[in-house]
Structure 1
Amino acid sequence: MKTLIKSIPLFLLLLAGYFANAQTKNGSVTGRVINAKDKSILDYASVSVKNLRDSSMAGSSNTNQSGVFTISGLAPGTYRLYVAYLGLKTINKDFTVTAAAPKVNMGDVALADGGVDLQTVEIKGEAPPVTVKKDTLEFNASSFKVRENAVVEDVLKKLPGVEVAKDGSIKAQGETITKIRVDGKEFFGSDPLLATKNLPADMIDKIQVIDQLSDQSQFTGVDDGNREKIINITTRKDKKNGYFGNTSAGYGTDDKYDVNLNVNKFNGEQQISLIGQFNNVNKQSFGGGVGGGGGGGRGGISFGGNTPQQGITTTNAAGLNYSNVYKSGTQFNASYFFNKTSLFNDQNSLRQNLLGGGQSTTFADAFNSTTDKVNHRINFLLDTKIDSLTSIRIQPNFSYTTTDLDKDDAFTNSLPNSVTVGTQQLNTKSTSPVLSDNLLIRRKFLRRGRSLSLNINTNLNNSTSDNYNNIVNNITVANAGVSQETTNQFNDQSSKSFGNTSRLVYTEPLSKTLSLELNYENRYNHDNSERFTYNFNPVTSRYDLIDNTYTNTYENTTLTNAVGFSFNKTAKKYVLNLGLAVQNTDRENDNLTTGNVFNQNFTNLTPTAQFRYTFSNSKRLRINYRGTTQQPSISQIQPVPDNSSTQTIALGNPDLRPSFSNNLSIFYNNFDFAHFRSLFLFANLTQTSNAFGNSQATILDQTSDNYGKIAVTPVNVGGVYSGNAFASLGLPIIKENKLNINITLGSNYARGVNFTTNTSNVSVKNITNDFSFTNGYKFVAGLDKFDLTAGINGSLNRATYSANPGQNTTYYVLNPTADVGYLFPGNIRLAADVNYYQNTGRAEGFNTKYTLLNSYISRQFFKNKGTFKFSVNDLLNQNQGTTTTSANNTITNLNYNVLKRYFLFSFTYSLGNMMSGRGNQQGMGMPGGMGGGRPRN
């Protein structure tokens, strides 16, 4: 830290010099871009300026709605102007800026018809680093330099407004990315990590962050408000025919190994990708695997920060992906992915259960477990046209997972008048096959804007689980001595679920700018849950004594019908959508064990509203409101206790009503293309009626087999709110994207309502307020030899409890980081990644301060296709795992095992037979980018 402080004066001096030099750059060039054929204005044409002295980028922009562009900040000198527009010939013109005449007007710049297919047009010259196209934010990958053998994730980390967490999850402008596509095609289904952690960075031409409409909205042209944030990766033209990818193998101390395979064969629209991963160093290039941090109930929030992965995982995975678009326009995707993981977890925790009135209990827990999981995934997609007006899309998916868990647990449960010391041995074997299908039939009519579409989603799940649970409790009660209670049971559980949602949409144009949508939706869900519990029989040495207390068969059937309409107004500057639906839900809960049948019927109005305003191509505002209902799960309503946990007894509530949520979100973005300045603002607020809260009570009946546990029953509560806000500001420090600073501000708020019962058997309403505030500063440099990503992140977290104000707590997390690398002569790279973690304000023994240092030295061979690397993980051997979680009426502090120091020697070979005269990847520049070997124009 002292070194950092000493560097501040030097840094400020550099800034002063930079801004002093910038004051001499007061020149500018302006003009208007038109179509040479009909003299029409061309808005959103790409414009860039290069310095003829050294071919460096001097600025870039896009034309506005009047076809006008202006690029300022030019020093005296000679420049070349590039103007490009899809489907027209790119033009370039030279001009000179002088001190006497700093402002240059190019007049009308006319682009001639290129006479080429729009899908195969090649735009020469430098593209701007960032452009905006309707609902798409597009980044030019060559403007963001990465190291050799980098993957897509490394590029994403450098993009303004994009956050990549330690587990690989991605947020863009504060919203979670749900899908990654490659050239608009599915890549291994809907798992984003399979693309970001496997595909090589040097294949990327553009990265597009898209607010994507639903499939029906894309077809009808009417925005129904259903959007998701996705990323589309467009491939460089020279990568569209041939092989590319990386393969690597490494071995190190403590028998650590890491083997990766990524081979891609692209042939025009045809894509074939093979990936493989085998390691025992906690690397998972896919989602949905073993590991991860803690969670929380409604109104809960985790204060763990960007913490290391929990436990030690051994991974074996392989997959094959195929996609193609045929000449008829038919799109076909198919993929198979297999993964086998084994997670060893060793952790201890301290959980405080708040009882109200200043009372609380504590639960200290120490366990180790091994979880073996095997997963198969098969994904298909077929999108084809039946005729010129009718198309059909079929997307079936299948997943089959088996899980084997072995857990040994030792715990101490401290109550006001007693202490329970116990052990648990738990073994679980489960299977979970899941089959789903999405069918979309679309029909257009001769009148433009008139359409009919039917979307059917079907899901089928049939899971089974065998659980052996052995708990021994030694209970010491004040003035009553010591007693022992045991639980030795076999639990046979199965769950069958079938769900089908059909949505019919008809659109009718009322005028050139106004359209009407009529929609009908039918949802059917049937769930069956069977739980048979058997006690151990010492006479037969078998589990053959059925325990009726924990045995039950339950069915839940829900039928929902909704009829609605919406009006969509599309003007030059804005889009307005207003809609309303009437929704009726009929639910039948059937307890097959007792014969009790419980019926419920609900009617709701679900309004929607959306307003999108375009100030300019670089400045946009979006406001969205939506009302939604949520049905409780069968586990929340099945009235049979689950005693497999050492801490809680869960009991469903068949009287639960559906919840209703009002959600309002606001998004604003502004880009200054010429100076690469960006601003993102995002806010979201949700209010929920009949939310699913919990009613908790400590079992104090000494005759109960569950003495000391917390009985948890879900209940409907009101007054539940949640919200989050995010702001990102990107500013250049050195032009040409050589050094930028990204400043982020974020906040999360959750208000939860629960009930807790104290030792006097008095129920107390507990209102929890969880608030977190984060602030981050990140410097991103992309010079020819030197690469730097450094910054600091901090968060303040506050949790309050109305039932136990004395337990109100404040947590702090501080995380300075630096990822630096330098390419020495001879293609030798030295790099280091430093993270300092400081967690304070937690319970005693859970505050941490440590430095995580990873480093490597590498050398490229074989015309830069091969790389030998010697690396070290956690050089200082200080890595620690810790989180603090506030959820409902509890506070949990957790320590867990993490991957510690090891050394690894590896070799990586880059595949590729398509160089197209552009040369191999050099330094940190991606091919085609600055410093990447692009021929000078």
Structure 2
Amino acid sequence: MKQRLFAFASLLLVCYGAMAQNSVVSGTIYDKETKEPLMQTTVQLLKTDSTYVTGAASAEDGTFKITVPEDGKYILRLTNIGYSNVYRNITMAEGKDIALGKINMATDAVMLKEVVAKGMAQKLVVKEDTFIYNAAAYRTPEGSVVEELVKRLPGAQVGEDGKITINGKQVTRIKVDGKEFMNGDSQTALKNLPTSIIEKVRAYDEKSDMARMTGVDDGEENMILDFGIKPGMNKGFLGNADLAAGTHDRYAGRVMAGIMKDNDRLMIMGNANNTNDRGFGGRGGRGGAGNGLQANKMVGINYNYEIPKKIIFDLNGRWNHGDGDNSTTTASESYISKVGAFSNSRSVTQNRNNNFNFAGRLEWHPDTMTTIQLRPSYTFSNNDSHSQRLNASFSKDPYSYDENVDPLDSEVMRKISAQNPLDSLLVNRNNNLSLSHGDNSQFNVMATVSRKLSNRGNSITVQGRYQKSKNENESLSVSETDLYRIKNIDGADSVYWKNRYNTAPTNNSSFQISASYTERLSQYSFLVFRYMYQHSDRDNSRDTYDFSDFTSFGRGITPRYNGFDDFIGGYKPLTTSSAYYNKELSRSTKYKNDTQEMELTWRRTTNAYNLNLGVLYQPQTQHLVYDYLNQHFDTARSVSNITPTLDFNYKFNRRKSLRLNYRARTSQPSMEDMLPIVDDSDPMNIREGNPGLKPSFTQSAQLRYNNYIQSHFSSVMAFVNYSNTRNSVSNKVYYDPLTGAQKSRPENINGNWNIMSALMYNAAIDTMGVWNFNSFANLRYSNNVSYVNLDPANKSEAVKNFNRSTSLSENLGFSYRNGWLEVELNGNVNYTINKNKLQPDRNRNTWDFQYGTDITATAPWGTALSTSAHMSSRRNYAQKDANTDEFIWNAQISQSFLQGRPLTVSLQFYDILHTKSSFTNSSSATGITNSWSNGINSYAMLHVIYRFNAFGGKNARRGAFGGPGGPGGMPGPPPGGFGGGGRGGRGGGMPGGGFGGGMPGGGRGGFGGGRMF
């Protein structure tokens, strides 16, 4: 019996093996003249109609193997840069393998010259709405991550807050080879993926999951940056380690490892530094510059698994820890009132946070008609913060007293408050100290099922979402305010104390159910019905304990991490006493919201254009129970909104398109803003509700034109954005001329609108693409409306004021590039015009401009020299020390070692002349603010970088080790691409290395230090 079972099992295994076995095509590729094997030749298996089936790259010895999925007739195509293409017709039958033996490829001098020219010139290609950047055309520092590459892309901008925009659109998600990466956390990818493995960068708008499944645009889009990995590097093992130490106790370490197979990919990342490079999102310029001192640590993992047309599984997790130490000085000017119109502040904020995040996606296609998707995520975080702030308000510009002194200096303040007529300048002075701690968690899950009902395009989609969050926050605030225009009974300046301890737990939950049905009306048109119901609950409370009678409360707090409980512990008995619990200042908010959406969309799709026309009806019911300041409110409201949508995309061809987009939306005012209540819990900032607030209606339109001219390797992009809001909400502010206190009341106002336009042009100047030119021009105009109180004694004199701001900017660049040298001359200028209608004395026109050069030279033996020198200037700012010239000079030298040069040692110098400052300027309808912050901008760092990979052949490893190359580059993905690794390929083996931009700041983190004031 056992023998029969064994024989039967053996037979099953043999049958299974026979069924599972696929045919294999193999061969060896040689140079026809030199008889040397050709590695990294692209081998593609095509159907007889040229449809791509599968492909591979030849190994170091020229051999290749391709698994054929089924019997039939095929075409085998071999491509390599500098060689004529080779084609073979093959027929697979009965599951038998085919050995083609030796295959010779002949060189093609004409093709080689053409491809070299294209490889150097094609920095950017535009296909429909997708911008495709050639990474090899942008040299970056040795060991750099893709953030450095993005900063060099035409039309790309990285803001001081770390946000990245491409052609005016903010990037919200990152992909790698079309696969999701870190669940949309763009900054984690930008700070950790090495540039050396990237071949292409694609920028495009991606529809929402619902839109992709239904085929109908729902208006929800994500701006995607998709990084394509070089062919031959997306299978096997990849490792990258970068360790660095520098002056001023700077340090940095980054490790990334990945295992890549046909169907799955695992990537692990680690990052620790005190150079303001968070590695998981946040601010930072070139080299890690940023405001304040930051020490950060991050560990992340990303896993992708896919069975084509069947299952997609993505999973990622991340832990990050940050220590911050920020010192900021500001000088502000308000347009709202003449009393307290000028203010200066100085603050120190020290914080620590931990964050854990997990997210995943499972998408299953049980058949060709059905898609099932599940997206769960969970986040937990905690934070501690300590801050000290000194602020003073003035009725006139304090620099008129002495432009060379600090208005916050205690001696200067005494002189201002004691001498006539200067005593009229100083209105009040506030010294505030605060501590806070918070624990926050959030869980989200979304499930979607979509089913095609027929081959005509009819479909139905159902989606459900659930979200729950819980926050436990507590804070302590100690505040002392001196009023210089009000005297107490002793004839001295009045003093107001506000010492409070708050606990604020929050519980929020919501669920949403939606369904859509698509009906095909004709060959090119569809009609879509969508319904959505959402319910949300928000339960917020705040318990307040008032210790304002204790004038010494909180004095002598030692700024120490995790010391909140230790400090507040001494006051815990007081927080259980009814004597200090302030019921009037404590608050309870319970909010329920029910929203429905009914949308009808007509869509027409042809080869020439796509058109979406839709209308949305949105009824909403809200219920608020509010207890505050000994008042109880139980109120509800029901509103309905109707908004139209339009999206038109005309495609002249694959490279030229014109798109028009129109959106309208209605926003309801906050129910808390509409309560008839006066909140005077802070006598210096009193707020009054307005039951008469109306909904705001915003219309926005965008017109965008893209064109890529193949014959000149040039690209053109132009767009115009317009937005207008009716019944927007602005605060009417009334100032007390004696104290500088303000009372605000929200009011509807009309006249807020803005327009922005841009034109980008990139082109090769010569036919070989050695000389290149790029330009990005931008024009912004905003008409901001607010209320201004010109006569503090008469509240009725708060009138409408217009602040008009015009900003013109131009970025120009000229570059020369050959196989070993790259020189770029670049510059930008920004001219801003601010005009205030009722207070023209506050009009100001400012200039910001920068110009300089980036030079990189590489040697065949692995040495790279690079330098960046730029002059940054500001003119016509109100504060004298804001109008400066800063000559920023960076330099780097690197040397690569070992066979294939996997080891690189790099010495980098940031801000060699010690001239960089951390200055920012911002303006709005209500005023203008100039800010200065701390940072270590000038230092040197020594990097040791090692890269390891176990895939492809020797040329593939060279491409991974070296920087982006010049002519030759890397082989492109099927079908076609630039090719590389063969004759004429000079890039890949040499370490590239441009270098430049802003300077890294950084710091040890930690609170440190005693009281500031």
**TM-score for both structures, normalised by structure 2:** 0.75
Matching residue of 1:252: 246
User: Which residue, 659, 667, 670 being the options, matches 1:622?
Assistant: 659
1:928 aligns with 2:961: no
User: Which residue, 813, 837, 849 being the options, matches 2:848?
Assistant: 813
User: Which residue, 744, 750, 759 being the options, matches 2:782?
Assistant: 750
Matching residue of 2:276: 282
Give the direction of change, closer, same or farther, for the CA distance of 1:513–1:192 in structure 2 (3 Å limit). same
Structure index of larger Rg: 2
Matching residue of 2:444: 436
Is contact 1:242-1:912 (8 Å) kept? yes
- Distance, in Å, in 2 between the alignment partners of 1:642 and 1:257 is 48
- Distance, in Å, in 2 between the alignment partners of 1:110 and 1:236 is 22
Structure 2 residue runs without a partner (length 5+): 1-45, 53-73, 93-104, 106-110, 397-423, 554-569, 972-977, 986-1013
Is contact 1:440-1:454 (8 Å) kept? yes
Give the direction of change, closer, same or farther, for the CA distance of 1:114–1:500 in structure 2 (3 Å limit). farther
Is contact 2:278-2:297 (8 Å) kept? no
Shift of 1:268: 1.7
Residues 336-375 of structure 1 mapped to structure 2, 5 A cutoff: 336-356=317-337, 361-375=341-355
Is contact 1:583-1:604 (8 Å) kept? yes
Shift of 1:307: 12
Is contact 1:282-1:899 (8 Å) kept? no
1:851 aligns with 2:887: yes
Shift of 1:859: 1.0
Is contact 1:589-1:654 (8 Å) kept? no
Shift of 1:877: 1.1
1:203 aligns with 2:197: yes
Give the direction of change, closer, same or farther, for the CA distance of 1:550–1:820 in structure 2 (3 Å limit). farther
Matching residue of 2:229: 235
Q: Helix, strand or coil: the match of 1:616?
A: coil
Structure 2 residue identity aligned to 1:451: S
CA shift digits 1:490-532 (9 cap, x unpaired): 1222333333343321111111111111111223333232222
Give the direction of change, closer, same or farther, for the CA distance of 1:549–1:882 in structure 2 (3 Å limit). farther
CA shift digits 1:795-843 (9 cap, x unpaired): 1112233342221222211122433221135322222223322122222
1:517 aligns with 2:528: yes
Shift of 1:690: 2.6
- Distance, in Å, in 2 between the alignment partners of 1:374 and 1:573 is 51
Is contact 2:430-2:479 (8 Å) kept? yes
Is contact 1:516-1:565 (8 Å) kept? yes
Matching residue of 1:376: 356
- Distance, in Å, in 2 between the alignment partners of 1:113 and 1:521 is 54
Shift of 1:220: 2.2
Shift of 1:676: 1.2
Select the structure with the greater relative contact order (CA < 8 A; seq sep ≥ 6): 2
Give the direction of change, closer, same or farther, for the CA distance of 1:36–1:483 in structure 2 (3 Å limit). closer
Identity %: 23
Shift of 1:261: 0.9
CA shift digits 1:552-601 (9 cap, x unpaired): 21223222212121111112211111111222122222214433123222
Q: Helix, strand or coil: the match of 1:178?
A: strand
Shift of 1:687: 1.2
- Distance, in Å, in 2 between the alignment partners of 1:512 and 1:881 is 59
Structure 1 residue identity aligned to 2:191: K
Give the direction of change, closer, same or farther, for the CA distance of 1:812–1:482 in structure 2 (3 Å limit). same
Structure 1 residue identity aligned to 2:658: L
Structure 1 residue runs without a partner (length 5+): 1-34, 44-86, 96-108, 117-122, 294-304
Q: Helix, strand or coil: the match of 1:197?
A: helix
Q: Helix, strand or coil: the match of 2:148?
A: helix
Structure 2 residue identity aligned to 1:319: G
**Comparing 729-738 and 900-909, the one that deviates more:** 729-738
Structure 1 residue identity aligned to 2:930: N
1:787 aligns with 2:787: no
- Distance, in Å, in 1 between the alignment partners of 2:268 and 2:679 is 43
- Distance, in Å, in 1 between the alignment partners of 2:354 and 2:672 is 25
| Residues matched between the structures, number | 821
Matching residue of 2:615: 580
- Distance, in Å, in 1 between the alignment partners of 2:392 and 2:354 is 33
Matching residue of 2:133: 139
Matching residue of 1:531: 542
- Distance, in Å, in 2 between the alignment partners of 1:639 and 1:493 is 24
Matching residue of 1:152: 146
Q: Helix, strand or coil: the match of 2:232?
A: helix
1:894 aligns with 2:931: yes
Residues 324-723 of structure 1 mapped to structure 2, 5 A cutoff: 324-326=305-307, 329-356=310-337, 361-415=341-395, 419-477=427-485, 481-536=492-547, 538=550, 542-543=574-575, 545-593=580-628, 594-632=631-669, 648=685, 656-700=693-737, 707-723=739-755
- Distance, in Å, in 1 between the alignment partners of 2:470 and 2:736 is 34
Give the direction of change, closer, same or farther, for the CA distance of 1:654–1:277 in structure 2 (3 Å limit). farther
Matching residue of 1:313: 294
- Distance, in Å, in 2 between the alignment partners of 1:115 and 1:226 is 47
Give the direction of change, closer, same or farther, for the CA distance of 1:687–1:502 in structure 2 (3 Å limit). farther
1:733 aligns with 2:765: yes
- Distance, in Å, in 2 between the alignment partners of 1:149 and 1:88 is 41
Give the direction of change, closer, same or farther, for the CA distance of 1:372–1:636 in structure 2 (3 Å limit). farther
CA shift digits 1:459-481 (9 cap, x unpaired): 33322321111111222117875
Is contact 1:308-1:880 (8 Å) kept? no
**Comparing 618-627 and 130-139, the one that deviates more:** 130-139
- Distance, in Å, in 2 between the alignment partners of 1:383 and 1:92 is 35
CA shift digits 1:721-756 (9 cap, x unpaired): 122212101121244443321111112222222224
Give the direction of change, closer, same or farther, for the CA distance of 1:455–1:534 in structure 2 (3 Å limit). same
- Distance, in Å, in 2 between the alignment partners of 1:467 and 1:174 is 39
- Distance, in Å, in 1 between the alignment partners of 2:227 and 2:627 is 51
Give the direction of change, closer, same or farther, for the CA distance of 1:710–1:212 in structure 2 (3 Å limit). same
Give the direction of change, closer, same or farther, for the CA distance of 1:167–1:484 in structure 2 (3 Å limit). closer
Shift of 1:153: 2.9
Structure 2 residue identity aligned to 1:837: S
Q: Helix, strand or coil: the match of 1:498?
A: strand
- Distance, in Å, in 2 between the alignment partners of 1:286 and 1:780 is 32
Q: Helix, strand or coil: the match of 2:213?
A: helix
- Distance, in Å, in 2 between the alignment partners of 1:292 and 1:349 is 20
1:868 aligns with 2:908: no
1:768 aligns with 2:803: yes
Q: Helix, strand or coil: the match of 1:355?
A: coil
Matching residue of 1:65: none
Structure 2 residue identity aligned to 1:442: S
- Distance, in Å, in 1 between the alignment partners of 2:247 and 2:90 is 59
Shift of 1:131: 4.6
Is contact 1:813-1:837 (8 Å) kept? yes
- Distance, in Å, in 1 between the alignment partners of 2:734 and 2:287 is 33
Is contact 1:550-1:642 (8 Å) kept? no
Is contact 2:779-2:809 (8 Å) kept? yes
Is contact 1:307-1:882 (8 Å) kept? no
Shift of 1:854: 2.1
Structure 1 residue identity aligned to 2:903: G
Is contact 2:844-2:876 (8 Å) kept? yes
- Distance, in Å, in 2 between the alignment partners of 1:362 and 1:560 is 44
Is contact 1:37-1:112 (8 Å) kept? no
- Distance, in Å, in 2 between the alignment partners of 1:569 and 1:739 is 43
Give the direction of change, closer, same or farther, for the CA distance of 1:131–1:482 in structure 2 (3 Å limit). closer
Structure 1 residue identity aligned to 2:916: N
